[in-house]
Structure 1
C-alpha cells in the first residue's frame, strides 16, 4: 500500500510459492525488464543457490537490485516438556541423546532449517530434521509436542512464548531484541560465532534501466525511513535494512558467499 501511494500506481501482489521461492524467482527472471515486475527477495532464496544445483537463474546475474527492506532474527523455542531451560541445557541433552531430539522447520532449505543446521554445526549436536510445508504446521506440531523444538520467526511464536506454551532459549541475532528483552542472543548463550537473520529486499529482472531502478530505490528508501514502517518492523523483532541499489548488490554478493560457506560447512541438504 505504501509503495502504491508513493509511486501513484496500483501495485498487485502475486504469491508464487513452491520450491523455497524458486518458482516465483524463475518467473520474475523471465519477465520484461520494464520496471513493472518486482520481486520480494528473501535471504533463503540466496542460500538456495547452494542447495539447488540446477537452478535456471543466478541472483547476482539475473536480477537488478532495487532496495533493502528489513532483517529479522529467529527464536529457538522448545516445547515446555523438554527438560531444558537454556541453550547449554539443550546442548547437554542433545549430546546425551544423539539423534533422538528433533526439530521442525517451515521447509527444507528455508531460514528455520538452515538456522538449525548452523546450530548443529557450531555445537556439535545431532538432531533429526522434520520439515513441514510452511511455518503454521511447524509451529502447531511444536506446540503439540510432536517435535521438540524449532527456530521460529518472532511473529509466529511470540504469543505462545508469552502464554507459556513455548519456551524461548535464544534469539539468532547478534544482540537481544526489544520485544523479548529477557531472551539472550545465541552468542550470549554460549554459541560462539552464531548469528543468523532472515532478510528481505526488492529486486527486478536484470536489464531494468538505471533511471527506473534509481527511482524505485529512492521511493522505497523514503518508505523505509517512515516512522510507521520502522515501528511495524520493530514490532516483529526486526530492524530496517536500509540499502540502496548499489549497497544491496554488494550485500547480496557477500551473503551469497556467506551462505555457500555455511551450507558447505553444515552439509545441509534438501530433505
Structure 2
C-alpha cells in the first residue's frame, strides 16, 4: 500500500521554502555590520572633566547611538598623556581600542627624549575632531588695545614684558613662543603649575599677558578683568566673533590652536578607519553637538583619514620647530 501523498507534498513544500530562504539568509548576513560586533574602548589619556574628556564622551555617546554598540570611555592619565597613548599603541589593531587625544600627541618626540611610541608610525589617524583656539589677553592696566600696539611696546622694552603660562611645554607656553618668533619680539616667560594661578597673576597685574583657551578667558573678559586682543587660530572663533585673529592683526601666517583627534592602532583595517571617519564627520554636523562644542570655545571640524594623516605630519614638523625655538625640552 503506497503512503499518503499529502505528507510527502508537505515535505517537498518545506524543502522548496527552505531553498527559497537561503538567498534571503545570505543577504541578511551580508547586510549585518562587520564592525562593531562588541563594545569599543575609547582611551582618553587625561583625567575626567577636561576638554579632551568632554569631547571624547560626546563623541562616544553619538557613536554608540549610531553604531548600536557601546563606546566606553577609559580615562588613563599619566606621564603628560603618554601612559594612555602607549596603551592604545600596543593594543590589537582590530577597531576595538581607540584614542581621543590632543595636539600634544604629535609634539611628544619634540618635548621628551624618551617616548615609548612613535605618534606617526604607531597609529592610524581617523579624523580631526575639533580645534580650540587660544585668546591673547592683557591686563587692562597695560596701555595696549591691539596686537600691533603690544608688539610696538614689546620692541620698545625688549625682555621686560612678561607672559604667564600653565607650564613648560603647554599650549599656553608654545603659542606665546610662536608669537615671539613670528612677531620678532622678546617676552619673558613665567611658568605656573596650571592655568588658574597663571590667569590669577595676570588679572592681579603681576604679569602683563597670557595666551589661554577661549572657554577659560571669556568669563574674565566679560567681567572686565582681562582685555582680549586676538585669537590664535587662522579664522575667527564663533565664540568671540568680534575678536580678530593674530594673523589679520599684523602677524601673517600665525595659526596656533589646540586640536583634538581620533586615532586607532596602526594596522587597523582600512574599512573600519574609513567608516569611523565618516561617522565622526556626520556627528560633527549635528546641531546639538556643534552647540555643545562652540559654547565652550571649541570649533568642530571633521576630516577624512587621509587629510588627518597629512595634518599629523605637518603639525609634527611645525611644533618641532616651535619647541626647538622655545627651548622647551621637558627631560
TM-score by length of 2: 0.74
2:260 equivalent in structure 1: 200
Bigger CA drift: 150-159 or 185-194?
A: 185-194
- Greater Rg, structure 1 or structure 2? 2
Shift of 1:239: 3.0
Give the gaps of 5 or more residues in structure 2.
1-60
Aligned equivalents of 2:297, 2:92: Cα separation in 1? 36
How is 1:253-264 mapped onto 2 (pairs within 5 angstroms)? 253-264=313-324
Tell me, in whole angstroms, the C-alpha distance in 2 between the residues paired with 1:130 and 1:23. Answer: 28
**Partners of 1:194 and 1:12 in 2: CA distance:** 37
Matched length: 270
2:293 alignment partner in structure 1 = 233
* Runs of 4+ displaced beyond 4 Å: none
CA distance in 2, matches of 1:241, 1:222: 11
* Structure 2: distance between partners of 1:238 and 1:76: 16
Q: 2:83 aligns with which of 15, 23, 27?
A: 23
Distance of 1:188 and 1:243 partners within structure 2: 25
Once the two structures are superposed, the pairs formed by residues 85-234 of structure 1 within 5 Å of their partners are: 85-234=145-294
Residue number in structure 1 paired with 2:9: none
1:267 alignment partner in structure 2: 326
The Cα RMSD (Å) is 2.2
Q: Distance in 1 between matches of 2:205 and 2:84?
A: 33
Which of 1 and 2 has higher RCO (CA within 8 Å, sep 6+)? 1
Per the TM alignment, residue 11 of structure 1 is displaced from its structure 2 partner at its CA by 3.0
| SS at 1:221 equivalent | helix
Deviation digits for residues 232-267 of structure 1, max 9, x if unmatched? 333334432221222211221222222223334x23
Contact 1:73 1:198 in 2 (8 A): yes
